[in-house]
Amino acid sequence: MNARFKNFISSASASKLAFDSSIESVRCALQDTLDSIEPPTAVPSPAKTGWLKGYLSYPWVLICSLVPSLKELF
């Protein structure tokens, strides 16, 4: 092999090592940042529909039960 090709290979190897070390430093910095952040606490909120509790919370239940009874009255 000629000296120019060997120089090209050694330059590529040095560039790869520099890239790997920079990636590792970024990975460590991100991990340190993630370790320093407290995870948010999730507070479960009950589902509210604005209607009655239980099965009557669905508006279609009220409509299907009230419409026939109102229809019989009129």
Q: Dump pLDDT digits (tens) for 11-58.
A: 999 999 999 999 999 999 999 998 888 888 888 877 766 666 666 667
Side chain identity at 36, as an amino acid letter? S
**Statement: the pTM of the whole predicted model exceeds 0.85:** no
Query: Domain locations in the chain?
Result: 3-37+50-73
CA distance 61 to 58: 6
Token pair of 19 as six digits: 């890239």
pLDDT at position 24: 96
H/E stretch holding 31 reads: helix 3-36
pLDDT at position 38: 84
66 has a pLDDT exceeding 90 = no
